[in-house]
Amino acid sequence: DQDLLNAVASAYFLLSDYQSANAHFSRINPKLVNKPEVGLNYAVTLKKIGKVGEAQKVFESVEKPRNAGLARYYASVENYLGEKQ
């Protein structure tokens, strides 16, 4: 189940176990990675494990969120990845 994969990946992400988080994020349907609830943490995870190019690619696919809280997190991830020019 995709929601379960995201929940487990996010739990590992919050524990700073980025290798395990990546193992779960990478199993999520690619069509769902464009959702901010999935793609933002996945992009950060990829950068944390040294996959900067992949992280930027994932981030670029994420839909810009309309929710104010997610929009702030989106901007934070954008800055972290060095995407903002």
The per-residue pLDDT for range 21-47, each reduced to its tens digit, is 999 999 999 999 999 999 999 999 999
Distance separating alpha carbons of residues 12 and 75, to the nearest angstrom: 22
Q: What is the pTM of this model?
A: 0.93
Question: Which letter does DSSP use for residue 49 in this model?
Answer: T
Q: Say what the alpha-carbon torsion angle 22, 55, 16, 50 is, to the nearest 10 degrees.
A: 90
pLDDT digits (tens, 9 = 90+) for 47-81: 999 999 999 999 999 999 999 999 999 999 999 99
